[in-house]
Structure 1
Amino acid sequence: MHMADLASSIDFEKLGSDGFVIRTAGSRLVIAGGALRGTLYGVYTFLEDYLGCRWFSSKVSRIPKRSRISLGDIDIEQVPVLEYREPFFFCAFDGDWAARNKSNGNFPELETRHGGKTEYTSLFVHTFDHFIPVKEHFDAHPEYFSEVGGERISEKTQLCLTNPEVLELMIKRVKEYLGQHPETRILSVSQNDWYNPCQCANCRAVDEYEESYSGSLIRFVNQVAEAIESEYPEAAIDTLAYQYTRKPPKYVRPRHNVIVRRRNPRGSTGRATCAPLSGSCCRFPRLCWRPLPCSTE
């Protein structure tokens, strides 16, 4: 096959930013991929799968020596199922190791030569208080925050997710942030890192209907995502299935531009436990348009 014919047979749109093909064409080896990282990932995959290279850590690699390389026919195509991939431990933050192992998340030190990364910018998770700070709003608007035991609370509080003024303010703040950081592709709108979900009559009615506190959360995040879509079509809103929101809602479904990040809590020993992934939390992938990353707290 002529090289021009081979190139025309590759569906680069399907490959996206990270997909690639590895093919032999007569005596030629062709590795081609998406504009950002695809070709780089194709090269590393070839080195792994056909030449036996391994990158166990940022300091430990195995690079076999061969006097001769012989290849048979190759025709493979890979497109990642997960658009965001990020092993969360210190060694994995090394940019070279991350690129070699096809990690494209926010925390690795990935540079332009690695094809960049999927940007969260400075906001990762637990962002309710960033966008609507309790210190800034509670005195004038206690109704913006959680009602617990019949009272609005300011200590370790969440947002009242059925309050239309809270929604309006969140949309405004999210749009302001995206306007200041247009490179952002995933922006977290997620609960603070403690409990105390709002139990006002409206929030309670939604969560009882959905049979989970995630009901009011997903409804709220869906409305934020819908409000930004026309102006920021490349951005997705990310939220958490974490602590009291790990159980999926019964009826509402995340929009196509909403990502639910499952957070896997630690056990009492401080070691990560996979138990929640065998419970209700693992049902979230069946409800979502977009694949779900999972991280360990």
Structure 2
Amino acid sequence: MRLPNFVWVFEMLCLLGIFSGIIFAEKLTLAENGASDYVILVSPQASEVERYAAAELQKYLGQITGSRLSIETRANGKPFIVVGNHPLARKIRVASRYAGDDAFRQKTAGANLFLKGATERGTLYAVYNFLEAQGCRWFTPAIPQLAGHHEFVPKRATLAINATDSFKRPLMKYRKRDGDIGRRSNTAATWTPILEWAAKMRANSFSLSLRAYEEHRELLKTETEKRGMILQVGQHDVMNEFLAPQKYFAAHPEWFGLIDGKRTLRARGKQVIFETANAKAMKTFENNLIAYLESRPEIDVFQLWLADAGLWSESAEAQKMGAPAERMAIFIQQITKALRSAKLKTKISFIAYSFYTEPPRNMNFEPQTILEFCPINQNHSFSLDDAAAPENRKYYEQLQKWIKRFPGEVTHYSYYAKFSWRSLPVVLPLQIAREIKNWHRIGEVGTSIYSEPGNWLALEFNHAAFSRASWEENFDAEKWYDEYLQARFGAAAQAMKRYHALATRISLEALIPQSADKNDTRDFQDLLAQTQAAMHEAMEKADTPDAKWLVGKLAWQPEYLALALRFRDAQRAEDKEQMNQLRGAIARLIAARANDGTTLDRGYGYQLMQEDAPQ
């Protein structure tokens, strides 16, 4: 409805501060003694994301001040906080570098405040940025295991802010959270808290396995749309879903891979990729995928991954297509072309992974295709670009080739929350920050990291640092780390910082195969003693209920490290009896805590880690 002109004139005068009683004031008092004169303004045509952003602002300001600001479309003479694209904010410009840029601006004008993004998602981030400036902290998702200890919201009798005009924009274009790689510990009860936390950390994309998405589709669709997140679905399930062996194998065995002269689904302990050289098999796969995506228009990016480290067909027609990397390129290009012919807007992403991290010669990919580079065996004792680790250096050189030659966008599929670490303590916030800054420098445009709730606390600092480094252009990781330690552990902060360094060194140098460089773990007994002492000191110094709770949750980790070191020695000595005894001891230790926020349900020694499937 068109408002009378005098109403708009009146509200524009309010915007200038004429009726506010505070003209160009140095501070805006938003609330005082549990009361506020302010209203939150959204456009009458506000999007779902903008309305959600306004509701989040209302909720947290209420918790901070005790005052509930109403959400309106008109100010009616009151001072206001505009959230998003209200008509009064039409002259507030937010610079944008590309479609979907999540930049935002926070600006005061007279007594009024504007929180506006270049995208509706950017507006949500502007709200969270503003709340963080008031002292809010979101440490972990509010999953059942951690609820009540997941955030800090200050209480203030008076909430006043300085006049400001600030602008922020993300370092990385894509900031993805992988929600269900392997379907380990996420449930219907954890999806919403994970997504809530991810949005607060400025993640703009969320990915799921096909099975997980279909199992929880309505919930996941609702929660991602509410936050304007880019929805990615697919992963390693896709081959069996769109060329289902139970449906096609009996009638068309020639559609499936040939290994050792036999058409088969599995060989040598691995899945076999279907016969991509067979035109009818490919056409059937295409048609089934297109039908699925037509029925799921909410999916923004389809993750076209084949079997995890699967075997490629040895048939003569397949061999003519070239090495696996070349066949993968042809497969991706053909499917992408089919989707465009079907007028689908869904983007395709794929992974440079396993035995095709080396780029193919064929680079006839469409520009909207997304590549995720996956250095599965990175030695995390070093950054990817560190020549001291030969495997890392090889990956880094391959990554640079992809960036130089690939016509689409290259993103980084990281392993800083790696499953095969078996929830061992590995805390690397400073290295993460350096890595992400370098990935951006050389031309990558996105990052991703696993988001399993079951062992969140074991990797909390990695999760938080990864999010900050992916968003902030000038992230001061050292300052952030010290402040985060203080916020989480209080008087125990320095003891936990020592514990992080010691425990991480034991995990990486003695236990995790990709980085362990010692044949004998006896050299680590002194480090283990120091680790135990640091944890004991932290337990004694923890001085707040939250710090005591958190240190108490992590206090079992030194025992886990000690058992893992003994298991590693038994493994190297090929003492199977001792290995079995220690495996049992570790299993009991893990079972008592499985998915409690500190560990997943599989501990060190579940399998010989060198033989684990890449994860």
TM-score interval w.r.t. the shorter chain? 0.7 to 0.9
Structure 1 residues 199 and 229: alpha-carbon distance in aligned structure 2, compared to 1, 3 A threshold: same
Q: CA deviation at 1:259?
A: 2.4
Aligned to 2:546: none
1:254 aligns with 2:369: no
Deviations 1:79-124 (CA, angstroms, capped at 9, x unpaired): 5733351055868852321221123304596726842543345x44
Q: Tell me the distance in 2 between the aligned counterparts of 1:160 and 1:251.
A: 19
Work out which of the residue numbers 144, 150, 159 in structure 1 matches 2:255.
144
Q: Tell me the distance in 1 between the aligned counterparts of 2:200 and 2:412.
A: 19
Instruction: State whether residues 82 and 291 of structure 1, in contact with CA within 8 Å, keep that contact through their aligned partners in structure 2.
Output: no
1:71 aligns with 2:162: yes
Percent of paired sites with the same residue = 19
Aligned to 2:313: 198
Aligned to 2:134: 51
Amino acid at match of 1:118: I
Work out which of the residue numbers 278, 289, 293 in structure 1 matches 2:408.
289
Instruction: State whether residues 260 and 292 of structure 1, in contact with CA within 8 Å, keep that contact through their aligned partners in structure 2.
Output: yes
Aligned to 1:133: 244
Query: Matched residue pairs, number?
Result: 288
Instruction: State whether residues 161 and 220 of structure 1, in contact with CA within 8 Å, keep that contact through their aligned partners in structure 2.
Output: yes
Instruction: State whether residues 259 and 288 of structure 1, in contact with CA within 8 Å, keep that contact through their aligned partners in structure 2.
Output: no
Q: CA deviation at 1:167?
A: 2.2
Structure 1 residues 242 and 181: alpha-carbon distance in aligned structure 2, compared to 1, 3 A threshold: same
Instruction: State whether residues 103 and 119 of structure 2, in contact with CA within 8 Å, keep that contact through their aligned partners in structure 1.
Output: no
Q: CA deviation at 1:131?
A: 0.8
Structure possessing the higher radius of gyration over alpha carbons: 2
Deviations 1:191-214 (CA, angstroms, capped at 9, x unpaired): 112421123334334334xxxx22
Secondary structure at the aligned position of 1:196 is classed as coil
Instruction: State whether residues 85 and 102 of structure 1, in contact with CA within 8 Å, keep that contact through their aligned partners in structure 2.
Output: no
Work out which of the residue numbers 361, 379, 396 in structure 2 matches 1:278.
396
1:216 aligns with 2:348: no
Amino acid at match of 1:37: R
1:105 aligns with 2:223: no
Instruction: State whether residues 138 and 144 of structure 1, in contact with CA within 8 Å, keep that contact through their aligned partners in structure 2.
Output: yes
Work out which of the residue numbers 154, 166, 187 in structure 1 matches 2:302.
187
Structure 1 residues 11 and 73: alpha-carbon distance in aligned structure 2, compared to 1, 3 A threshold: closer
Aligned to 1:62: 152
Instruction: State whether residues 272 and 311 of structure 2, in contact with CA within 8 Å, keep that contact through their aligned partners in structure 1.
Output: yes
Structure 1 residues 77 and 279: alpha-carbon distance in aligned structure 2, compared to 1, 3 A threshold: same
Amino acid at match of 1:74: D
Secondary structure at the aligned position of 2:176 is classed as coil
Q: CA deviation at 1:173?
A: 0.9
Work out which of the residue numbers 21, 24, 30 in structure 1 matches 2:104.
21
Structure 1 residues 228 and 293: alpha-carbon distance in aligned structure 2, compared to 1, 3 A threshold: same
Secondary structure at the aligned position of 2:411 is classed as coil
1:115 aligns with 2:234: no
Greater RCO (CA < 8 Å, at least 6 residues apart)? 1
Q: CA deviation at 1:172?
A: 0.6
Structure 1 residues 79 and 132: alpha-carbon distance in aligned structure 2, compared to 1, 3 A threshold: same
Work out which of the residue numbers 126, 143, 146 in structure 2 matches 1:42.
126
Aligned to 1:167: 282
- TM-score calculated relative to the size of structure 1: 0.77
Secondary structure at the aligned position of 1:47 is classed as helix
Amino acid at match of 2:223: E
Q: CA deviation at 1:183?
A: 1.7
Amino acid at match of 2:124: L
Amino acid at match of 2:316: A
Instruction: State whether residues 187 and 236 of structure 1, in contact with CA within 8 Å, keep that contact through their aligned partners in structure 2.
Output: yes
Aligned to 2:444: none
Work out which of the residue numbers 117, 134, 152 in structure 2 matches 1:33.
117
Q: CA deviation at 1:225?
A: 1.0
The answer to which structure has the higher helix fraction is: 2
Structure 1 residues 11 and 207: alpha-carbon distance in aligned structure 2, compared to 1, 3 A threshold: farther
Q: Tell me the distance in 2 between the aligned counterparts of 1:126 and 1:279.
A: 30
- TM-score calculated relative to the size of structure 2: 0.41
Instruction: State whether residues 359 and 401 of structure 2, in contact with CA within 8 Å, keep that contact through their aligned partners in structure 1.
Output: yes
Q: Which moved more, 1:63-72 or 1:34-43?
A: 63-72
Structure 1 residues 112 and 183: alpha-carbon distance in aligned structure 2, compared to 1, 3 A threshold: closer
Aligned to 2:442: none
Deviations 1:142-163 (CA, angstroms, capped at 9, x unpaired): 3322233444333221022232
Q: Tell me the distance in 2 between the aligned counterparts of 1:40 and 1:139.
A: 52
Q: Which moved more, 1:245-254 or 1:86-95?
A: 86-95
Q: Tell me the distance in 2 between the aligned counterparts of 1:236 and 1:147.
A: 30
Deviations 1:226-250 (CA, angstroms, capped at 9, x unpaired): 1212544420123232222222213
- Aligned-pair Cα RMSD in Å: 3.7
Q: Tell me the distance in 2 between the aligned counterparts of 1:151 and 1:21.
A: 58
- Structure 1, gaps ≥5 residues long: none
Q: CA deviation at 1:14?
A: 6.0
Q: Tell me the distance in 1 between the aligned counterparts of 2:317 and 2:93.
A: 52
Work out which of the residue numbers 341, 354, 357 in structure 2 matches 1:243.
354
Work out which of the residue numbers 336, 350, 353 in structure 2 matches 1:225.
336
Q: Tell me the distance in 2 between the aligned counterparts of 1:250 and 1:112.
A: 37
Q: CA deviation at 1:34?
A: 5.2
